């Protein structure tokens, strides 16, 4: 009986000490998201939050990098506001914004 108890105690102590060497790694996704403007993009002016605005060309499938989180996107074309949205972007995600 004493040998059985001593053996069980040794196994428990061994497991406790072996478990202390366990290494874990944490993988974080990139904190960048993407916007893809589609539709009638030629000459449209894009305003994102309080950042500098930029003019879209006629490129297709161009992804614009933006930080993850909530953003206010306004698109003006020919002097008319055609898009006014608040969007939430997750890490590594892409959002398509269609311009009429």
Is 89 within 8 Å of 66 (Cβ atoms)?
Answer: yes
Domain definitions of the chain by residue range: 32-99
Instruction: Give the C-alpha distances (Å, rounded to integers) separating 4 from 1, 11, 14, 15, 16.
Output: 5, 11, 15, 17, 18
What are the tens digits of pLDDT across the range 73-95?
Answer: 999 999 999 999 999 998 889 99
CATH code reported for the domain at 32-99? 2.60.40.10
Give the 3-state secondary structure of residue 31: coil
What are the tens digits of pLDDT across the range 27-76?
Answer: 666 689 999 999 999 999 999 999 899 999 988 888 999 999 999 999 99
Question: What are residue 48's DSSP bridge partners?
Answer: 73
Q: Is residue 8's pLDDT more than 90?
A: no
Is 40 within 8 Å of 77 (Cβ atoms)?
Answer: yes
């Amino acid at each position: 009986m004493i040998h059985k108890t001593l053996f069980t105690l040794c196994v428990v102590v061994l497991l406790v000490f072996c478990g202390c060497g366990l290494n874990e790694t944490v993988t974080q996704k990139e904190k960048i998201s993407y916007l893809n403007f589609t539709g009638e993009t030629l000459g449209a002016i894009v305003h994102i939050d309080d950042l500098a605005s930029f003019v879209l060309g006629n490129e297709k499938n161009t992804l614009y990098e933006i930080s993850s989180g909530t953003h206010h996107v306004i698109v003006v074309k020919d002097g008319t506001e055609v898009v006014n949205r608040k969007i939430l972007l997750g890490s590594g995600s892409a959002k398509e914004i269609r311009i009429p």
